[in-house]
A and B are shown apart, each in its own frame.
Chain A
Amino acid sequence: MTLDILRMVGFGGLVLVVGYPLGLYMARVFAGERTWLTPVLAPVERAVYRLAGVDPSAEMRWTSYASSLLLFNFACFTILYLLLRLQGVLPLNPTAATGMSPDMAFNTAVSFVTNTNWQAFAGETGVSHLTQMLGFTWQNFISAASGMTVAVAFIRGLTRKETREIGNFWADLTRSWLYVLLPMSIVIALVYVSQGTVQTLAGAVTAKTIEGVTQVMRVGPVASQEAIKLLGTNGGGFFNANSAHPFENPTPLTNLLQVLSMFAIPAGLTFTFGRMAGRMRQGVVIFAAMAILFFAGLGVIYGFEHAGNPNLTRVGADQVASAAQAGGNMEGKEVRFGIADSALYGATTTAASSGAVNGAMTSMTPLAGGMAMLNIALGEVVFGGVGSGLYGMLIFALLAVFIAGLMVGRTPEYLGKKIGPKEMKLAMFAILALAASVLVLTALAISSPAGLAGRLTQGPHGLSEVLYAFTSGVGNNGSAFAGLDAATVFYTTTIGIGMLLGRYLFIIPVLAIAGSMARKKQAPPSSGTFPTDSGMFVGLLVGVVLIIGALTFFPAYALGPVLEHFLMHAGTLF
């Protein structure tokens, strides 16, 4: 156990070591400054701009920034939708996948455009190589880059003064994938390949097992997709088993690299924010708040998983970790990874809006599963998705500043800018949109026969299955609790809508706030100003995130995971 804890603390250190320099690098990239990759990439960048007819120095107001983003994402959606519908007749289809049904194509296209990567289909059989590469891998880059543009535009809004302009969407988008996502993915993919992750254009290999049975194993361009799947907090695996599959995640090293890549950019962006705000401490407090929330959640998941199921102990099963066994609750986990790596992966993927999994969430002990769900429900701000984590957390920072800022006797201000009715309206709208989407869609599902039919289990665990699905969709996480049959028209449609609401009803207010904050004057800080770069602010921010999440979801969780937990201790299992 001590070793496990050391490993997790060590992971925290690694995130810092990777995130900090990456954050500074990104700050340079988005400012259009020279980096060590500029000599190689600048010609490509210029070519892209020339090809697209974009002037990267032309600044945009928030309205044109937002409409560019929406238009671009809509175009991506349309292409992906058509690709999914028509993949059966398109080339590069060695597994003979058929075209998707309209509702499934809608769900999948929305999923990959919104950086959710919820998969209601099985990756091995459901889609062609062309779809995997041209559709999914492309979207993995582009949806992540879209998130980064919003984060960067938001930072500009907070830090610029008395201007209407918050940057150029096309330039931010290009720089995101060209300077950040692409180079990192190439390096990471090569490491994966070196560790044995599959990378081929072939469809399957056939092997003869020792028992003499013939086994057909699906293969394909896995490593290349794996790199961006995690780096871009996408989470859509090549295989349905996702990162529990040995072809995706073969060794302990790849497992570590996977969790690390999920946090690299979200953590790095906090430092980008600090640098762009001209005061690194502002970024550090955001990082610290995220880290505290993450380790608290990880502690809960690890604690309950490590303790295992009391009913098994009662009937005489040995759940204590030893040299011979991993111990704890090993149901639904890869024996290769054990409790610690599975808990770490589970906590990271839910916190980071990634959705990649290396174990089954549904098999977790009730409160550990509930914690994973809460990680998402908090708004994907515990590092969160690429870009979305930062702007989500900054929205909470505005709220924290507002509630507590009044208490120091001044109009609340963040980074020297006053927060007025307009910003509050937009920020609260964004928070309300998330809470409302999850609650309403879940209530709808459990009140309708179509929704109830999808459950694998009755009772509180069944409620958790449904609640998790919508939480994951709206939070643009994409991980599944498993158990729920999400391939029905009801769920593909409702979850698809949830993903759209969760993404765009948040992004639009965020950009509007950016536009409104950019126009404001910036007052220099004084000792009378609410200090947003102190340890106290970290505590406050953590408190606000938790209390908003808790107040919104306490009743639902009481009837789901909490009830299940009590019932488990009373001897009832689901």
Chain B
Amino acid sequence: MTDGLDMHVEASPEAATPRKRTAAPNDGALIRRAIVDAFLKLNPVKLWHNPVMFVVEIGSAICTFYVFADLVATRQNVTFLVGIAFWLWFTVLFANFAEAMAEGRGKAQADSLRNMTTDTLANLVKDDTIEQIPANQLRKGDKVVISAGETIPGDGDVIEGIASVDESAITGESAPVIRESGGDRSAVTGGTKVLSDRIIVQITSEPGQTFLDRMISLVEGANRSKTPNEIALDILLITLTMIFLLVTVSLEAFAIYSGQSVQVSVLIALLVCLMPTTIGGLLSSIGIAGMDRLVRHNVLAMSGRAVEAAGDVNTLLLDKTGTITLGNRQASEFLPTAGVTEEELADIAQLASLSDETPEGRSIVVLAKQFGIRERHLHKEETEFIPFTANTRMSGIDWQGKRIRKGATDAVLAWVASQGGTVPPDITELVERVSSTGGTPLVVSIDDRALGVVHLKDIVKGGIRERFDQLRAMGIKTVMITGDNPITAGVIAREAGVDDFLAQATPETKMELIRKEQASGKLVAMTGDGTNDAPALAQADVGVAMNTGTTAAKEAGNMVDLDSNPTKLIEIVEIGKQLLMTRGALTTFSIANDVAKYFAIIPAIFMVAYPVLGRLNVMGLHSPQSAILDAVIFNALIIVALIPLSLKGVKYRPLGAAVVLRRNLLVYGLGGVILPFFGLKLIDIILVALHVAG
């Protein structure tokens, strides 16, 4: 299933560190664009999707009205009212700016992607003739011919030929990949370039629905719909807003009862300060930034829902090959039979492998070097290479009249017998010793003698065990999927530290495992690339298809990894979690902030009628007017201050929920209560110093 992994995956076991996309424009241009967008987003029709900010905008408009009304009526107190109105507008603008910043990066990326879609011509095959038509007129089922140097006009499957393709436009990876008809490497993506040879491709997507089109709309966040968690959070925020609306409206009644009516602008200031504007203003930018983080990890999520589901995942199904182990087995020891030295066996094994270009063969050569055996140059005249075939199940060389072979136990032993030799009695024991530890035995022979066994072993990726420990701490169970027999699988599973394994896996048993996990209420994530993975990818809650995979696999999953790196699943989970954490942290922070604001505004409003209430002015703010301005300014500035956090996400550590919660509650809960007391006081000092406050 995963044997068809891309080369660069094997070459980069350190792929855990994300490769950043380079297409990002410089920050200056991004910020300028975001500032313009922030003003454009003031349009109430656009702002409607963010109810909290919509209410703030209405409040700002009313306050502005009162500025002019007061100017006409009394010509008093206007600087204060202007101050309130000004900062309320800025509250909305800052929130808009945050959203625009988050969208900015995606938009820039979309623009560069869009350039690729234009101007491509397709060579449409029509009844033995070839007709040139614009790429955007291709329909599903059309066949096109692409030769070296041409751009592939649309998504499709190679139905004839083999070619090397430069997919860097999509994946950012410069090394070319091989695409050929049949099998699991047949899918090609529109916008990529054929470097050599000529292929015929059958188009699999309708115009406007190509992978590139989807990618553009995804990075742009064009049809971003709210996820269930966002909706639930929205409901919380809207209800809090309604409660505070009631609080402020009823406050006017309480105030009149107490013999002092409160200015509408002051009431609105109070309302806006109490409303969860911090999270309300940053909510959508958190979501967009989360998707963007995925894109920068070269993962395309088909929906925000899938990203959130990734954060909730309980079980990860990981393919052994490529994810847990390096792509191939490697020789780890030489086990000679009685009367044969280790050096002798190593020498012959190396000779047998000299022509073997498979990673296994190369690893035998490398291991033999440790016995001081150097590579030799073989003269072509006296050497004949015997390649591996599925029939003989062994390979080797005929060299200087000696017939050297290595291969599967029964095949080599049969060969030795056919050469008139006898099978050494201890060889079976050696073979079993290797098998029982999960290794693969290769028997080495020369002429009629079986010399011994080479132990081929799966090499577990460095650092993967720690990753699994982290996942376990996060409460995520890892299950290794492998086609190996249970013994081999068990050994690797123990060595890699996975929680469970599925041996001799077939698409059916994989599907069954997913269903079983889901039936007990768990969310399952998996990666896959082959057509036979498609049903399981569709069944899994998070299905990450490899970009090298088939079209069927890509359509079944809800994410595509452009790097085709199965280890990426772990990062996807982390990004999903970080997204939710950031939302939770800012919500807590936002609500906790209100405590200090009450202590600023309530005494400020009623100190005139009841001087004794001045004792609630614990921060010792300069005057009632400065106190109210402090709160409004703090409320606006905190949004700006938290934009970087909303874009980057809160610091993520792979720890258990209890530890993470304690830490975040301390930082964002307790910190959220305490920080504004100092912030308000600081702003007050500045306002007094600037003689702004009356």
Contacts and interface: CB of A to CB of B under 8 A. Distances in A.
A402 B615 contact: no
B591 to A, nearest CB: 7
Contacts of A443: 249-250, 253-254
A407 B660 contact: yes
B246 A436 contact: yes
Interface stretch (B9-17, B78-86, B308-316, B442-450): B308-316
A512 to B, nearest CB: 14
Given A411-B312, A556-B254, A523 B591 contact: no
A410 interface: yes
A543 B250 contact: no
Contacts of A555: 247, 250-251, 254, 598, 602
B578 A409 contact: yes
Nearest to B603: A558
Interface in A281-318: none
Contacts of B312: 410-411, 418
Between A408, A424, A526, A554, the greatest number of chain B beta carbons within 10 A of the residue's beta carbon is seen for: A408
Interface in B67-87: none
B238 to A, nearest CB: 8
B521 interface: yes
Interface string B576-598: 11111101110110011011001
Contacts of A447: 253, 256-257
B254 A552 contact: no
B686 interface: no
Contacts of B257: 446-447, 463, 559
A432 B247 CA distance: 11
A40 to B, nearest CB: 41
Nearest to A522: B521
B320 to A, nearest CB: 23
A343 B230 CA distance: 45
B399 interface: no
Given A411-B311, A523-B314, A463 B254 contact: yes
B615 A409 contact: no
A554 B311 CA distance: 37
A402 B660 contact: no
A509 to B, nearest CB: 12
A221 to B, nearest CB: 43
Interface stretch (A81-89, A210-218, A240-248, A562-570): A562-570
Contact of B587 (A403, A566, A570): A403
B418 interface: no
A421 B239 contact: no
B616 interface: yes
Nearest to A420: B228
Contacts of A440: 246, 250
B613 A563 contact: yes
A470 to B, nearest CB: 11
A540 B665 contact: yes
Interface in A488-513: none
Contacts of B236: 399, 402-403, 424, 428
A416 B521 contact: yes
B487 to A, nearest CB: 29
A404 to B, nearest CB: 6
Nearest to A417: B521
A384 interface: no
A573 interface: no
Interface in A148-167: 161
Contact of B661 (A408, A411, A522): A408
A372 interface: no
Given A406-B229, A446-B254, A547-B592, A527 B473 contact: yes
Contacts of A530: 657, 661
Nearest to A558: B602
B657 A527 contact: yes
Binding site secondary structure of chain B = helix
A558 B475 contact: no
B612 interface: yes
A556 B476 CA distance: 47
A428 B235 CA distance: 8
B690 interface: no
Nearest to B244: A551
A407 B659 CA distance: 11
B137 interface: no
Contacts of A528: 314, 474-476, 656-657
Contacts of A123: none
B521 A550 contact: no
B661 A421 contact: no
A429 B247 contact: no
A7 interface: no
Interface string B655-671: 01110111011001100
A185 interface: no
Size category of the binding interface on chain B: 35 or more
B581 A407 contact: yes
A524 B522 contact: yes
A432 B243 contact: yes
A558 B473 contact: no
A550 B602 CA distance: 13
Given A403-B587, A428-B236, A527-B475, A439 B520 contact: no
A416 B602 CA distance: 41
B243 to A, nearest CB: 5
A554 B603 CA distance: 11
A523 B541 CA distance: 14
B472 interface: yes
B618 interface: no
A419 interface: yes
Given A409-B580, A442-B250, A555-B251, A404 B661 contact: yes
Given A407-B581, A547-B595, A554-B598, A436 B243 contact: yes
B235 A529 contact: no
A471 B228 CA distance: 34
A84 B192 CA distance: 85
A296 to B, nearest CB: 17
B232 interface: yes
Given A527-B657, A529-B657, A540-B665, A562 B239 contact: no
A365 to B, nearest CB: 16
Given A536-B665, A551-B243, A439 B258 contact: no
Contacts of B613: 558, 562-563, 566
A306 B232 CA distance: 46
Given A424-B236, A563-B610, A404 B584 contact: yes
Interface string B425-464: 0000000000000000000000000000000000000000
Between B257, B472, B474, B661, the greatest number of chain A beta carbons within 10 A of the residue's beta carbon is seen for: B257
Given A410-B577, A410-B580, A543-B669, A567 B657 contact: no
A421 B238 CA distance: 12
Given A428-B235, A530-B661, A404 B474 contact: no
B311 A432 contact: no
B658 A534 contact: yes
A460 B613 CA distance: 12
Between A439, A526, A540, A555, the greatest number of chain B beta carbons within 10 A of the residue's beta carbon is seen for: A555
Interface in B197-242: 228-229, 231-233, 235-236, 239, 242
A529 B312 CA distance: 9
A554 B274 CA distance: 12
Nearest to B656: A527
B661 A435 contact: no
Contacts of A410: 311-312, 577, 580, 657
Contacts of B658: 527, 531, 534, 536
Interface in A507-549: 521-524, 526-531, 534, 536, 540, 543, 547
Given A411-B228, A436-B243, A534-B658, 6 more contacts: A407-B665, A409-B474, A421-B235, A524-B521, A547-B592, A551-B247
| CB-based closest 9 A-B pairs | A528-B475, A406-B584, A409-B577, A526-B475, A407-B584, A443-B253, A523-B521, A428-B239, A566-B612
5 contacts: A442-B250, A521-B521, A529-B475, A550-B595, A554-B598
